[in-house]
């Protein structure tokens, strides 16, 4: 039982977060997930059957953003510095359970991707190749009507492990609605695993890592509620980092390949692990690097055999680029080019902006891997994934979780505040049904907060030469080198 001042604070934060999450579920259900979609069910009456259509009452959207803002503020109060309410790991988990419960029970919110997963699983089940056709190949079935129209006719960009999981969910769930429930249950289990692994990596800072992960509004909104594949991806990535930390790089490489077989950017972790192992003292550079590379190739080849046409996802990797997010740096570069050369075709300018941003991301990742001995492996992987997420053709809030989940166990001081405030921005900046002006004002306000923290941070100038402090010491002894 919770007792004492800290216990009362824990109960108060748990109750406040539960009420706030309930408000988000009720308001979000009235908005829906994507324009011109019809959900598979009204989800106990919580989800509107009409789907999200512009021009309706602004009240649900305002209530949704108010609820998300309160949830973010509650989390900021607990995450930025030690608080009695989260003095023990048990208290953190108790608050996390209360905050997550409405999202576990409620309908998928903020994104319709989970319905796309179900439709792609149905494609495999009916003998179609999801890397060649989109969900619309299923015909006029309810599963297709629940998919965002943008993605109904495009091939899947997800890796073979993700496609196998989608098919497995459809078979286990007995249909698309059952598959959605399976995705939700796996997402919840993934958050628990991510929390345990992050605490393991954090050493003596277990509570801080837990608070940054399991109470994070991005995690609650986009993994627990929306049931994105980022939950499975994050669990595999952190499992890989824990395996390497415990002296088992072979298992780490296999798990990182599995994460890359969910979403391609996670393959950065494979290269980072091999490079980091090569630079360790006493390492047999070329022979062990060759062995690690062979393990990676074998693991990737084996994972492609999980589904027919397992390599078919490679040509479909540009599918997310079919969307457009005006805040993405690649979009901003394209807009700048439009102002300079207004006579050029929009598609050419957009392609130029994306190329510049992707080249910049590639340079950052290459630098991080080449200098990986200057920082912990978690920092190299996390920063590399953040670079790809932020400089990709499009930016979606859940993309930030690729790097945040890896960085959560090692962030300290001002750098931790930057990560926390960045997650706060992403949690609010892309809510459906929110008036665009209000969204811009909220995002600008939070961005200003990040800027103030960065400018006032004396530590930032110290950290720039190495980009991140060394990884914290692990209480368990590490194996310094492999047997010769």
Give residue-wise pLDDT tens across range 254-277. Answer: 999 999 999 999 999 999 999 888
Give residue-wise pLDDT tens across range 139-156. Answer: 888 889 899 888 888 888
Calpha distance 66→72 (Å, rounded): 10
Q: 135 to each of 130, 190, 226, 333, how far by Cα in Å?
A: 8, 26, 19, 32
When pLDDT is averaged across residues 77-86 and rounded to a whole number, the result is: 83
Q: Express as a percent the part of the chain with pLDDT over 70.
A: 77
pTM of the model: 0.86
Give residue-wise pLDDT tens across range 82-140. Answer: 788 888 889 999 999 999 999 999 999 988 899 999 999 999 999 899 998 989 999 88
For residue 220, give the DSSP letter.
I
Residue 42: pLDDT band with limits 50, 70, 90: confident
List residues bridging with 35 in a β-sheet. Answer: 52
Give the pLDDT score at 3. 55
Residues 6+ apart with CB under 8 A from 44: none
Please state, rounded to an integer, the average pLDDT across all residues of the chain: 81
Helix 249-260 crosses helix 230-245 at what angle (to 10 degrees)? 170
Give the pLDDT score at 8. 82
Residue 459: pLDDT band with limits 50, 70, 90: very low
Give the pLDDT score at 460. 42
Report how far apart the first and last C-alpha atoms of the chain are (Å, whole number). Answer: 52
Give residue-wise pLDDT tens across range 178-232. Answer: 999 999 999 999 999 999 999 999 988 899 999 999 999 999 999 999 999 999 9
Residue 461: pLDDT band with limits 50, 70, 90: very low
Among the ranges given (176-185, 443-452, 457-466), the one the predictor scored with the smallest mean pLDDT: 457-466
* Cβ proximity of 201 and 245 under 8 Å: yes
Among the ranges given (77-86, 301-310, 429-438), the one the predictor scored with the smallest mean pLDDT: 429-438
Residue 480: pLDDT band with limits 50, 70, 90: very low
Give residue-wise pLDDT tens across range 406-426. Answer: 998 888 877 888 888 888 888
Between these two residues, 435 and 264, which has the higher pLDDT value? Answer: 264
For residue 227, give the DSSP letter.
-
Q: Which residues of 155-188 are buried (b: 16+ CB within 10 A; e: fewer)?
A: bbbbbbbbbbbbbbbbeebebbbbbbbbbbebbb
Calpha distance 5→307 (Å, rounded): 54
Calpha distance 423→429 (Å, rounded): 10
Q: 415 to each of 195, 204, 248, 420, 455, how far by Cα in Å?
A: 20, 18, 29, 9, 12
List residues bridging with 405 in a β-sheet. Answer: none
Residue 63 has pLDDT above 90, yes or no: no
Give the pLDDT score at 96. 95
Give the pLDDT score at 45. 81
- DSSP letters, 121-156, are HHHHHTT--TTTS-GGGG-S-HHHHTS-GGGTTS--
Between these two residues, 66 and 475, which has the higher pLDDT value? Answer: 66
Residues 6+ apart with CB under 8 A from 445: none
Give the pLDDT score at 61. 79
Between these two residues, 93 and 449, which has the higher pLDDT value? Answer: 93
Calpha distance 306→254 (Å, rounded): 15
């Amino acid at each position: 039982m919770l007792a004492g001042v800290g216990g009362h604070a824990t109960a108060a934060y748990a109750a406040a977060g539960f009420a706030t999450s309930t408000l988000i579920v009720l308001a979000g259900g009235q908005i829906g997930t994507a324009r011109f979609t019809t959900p598979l069910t009204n989800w106990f009456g919580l989800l509107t059957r009409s789907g999200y259509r512009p021009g309706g009452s602004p009240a649900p959207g305002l209530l949704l953003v108010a609820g998300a803002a309160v949830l973010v503020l509650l989390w900021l109060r607990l995450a930025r510095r030690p608080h009695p309410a989260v003095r023990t790991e048990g208290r953190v988990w108790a608050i996390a359970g209360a905050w997550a419960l409405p999202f576990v029970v409620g309908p998928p919110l903020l994104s319709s991707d989970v319905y796309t997963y179900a439709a792609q699983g149905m494609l495999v089940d009916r003998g179609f190749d999801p890397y060649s056709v989109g969900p619309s190949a299923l015909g006029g079935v309810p599963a297709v009507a629940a998919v965002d129209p943008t993605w109904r006719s495009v091939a899947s960009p997800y890796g073979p492990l993700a496609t196998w999981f989608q098919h497995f969910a459809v078979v286990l769930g007995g249909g698309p609605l059952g598959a959605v429930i399976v995705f939700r249950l796996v997402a919840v289990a993934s958050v628990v695993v991510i929390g345990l692994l992050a605490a393991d990596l954090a050493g003596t800072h277990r509570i801080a890592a837990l608070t940054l992960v399991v109470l994070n509004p991005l995690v609650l909104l986009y993994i627990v509620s929306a049931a994105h594949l980022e939950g499975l991806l994050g669990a595999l990535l952190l499992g890989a980092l824990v395996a390497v930390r415990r002296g088992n790089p072979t298992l780490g490489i296999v798990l990182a390949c599995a994460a890359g077989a969910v979403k391609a950017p996670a393959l950065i972790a494979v290269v980072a692990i091999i490079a980091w192992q090569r630079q360790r003292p006493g390492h047999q550079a070329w022979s062990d690097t060759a062995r690690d590379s062979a393990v990676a190739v074998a693991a990737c080849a084996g994972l492609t055999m999980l589904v027919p046409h397992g390599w078919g996802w490679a040509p479909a990797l540009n599918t997310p680029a079919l969307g457009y997010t005006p805040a993405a740096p690649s979009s901003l570069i394209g807009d700048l080019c439009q102002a300079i050369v207004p006579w050029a075709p929009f598609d050419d300018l957009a392609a130029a902006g994306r190329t510049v941003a992707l080249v910049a991301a590639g340079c950052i990742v290459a630098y991080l891997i080449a200098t990986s001995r200057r920082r912990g492996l978690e920092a190299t992987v996390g920063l590399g994934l953040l670079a790809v997420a932020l400089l990709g053709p499009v930016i979606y809030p859940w993309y930030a979780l690729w790097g945040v989940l890896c960085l959560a166990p090692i962030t300290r001081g001002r750098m931790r505040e930057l990560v926390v405030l960045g997650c706060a921005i992403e949690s609010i900046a892309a809510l459906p049904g929110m008036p665009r002006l209000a969204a811009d004002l909220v995002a600008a306000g939070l961005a200003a907060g990040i800027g103030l923290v960065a400018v006032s941070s004396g530590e930032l100038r110290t950290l720039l030469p190495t980009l991140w402090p060394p990884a914290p010491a692990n209480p368990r002894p590490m194996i310094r080198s492999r047997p010769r």
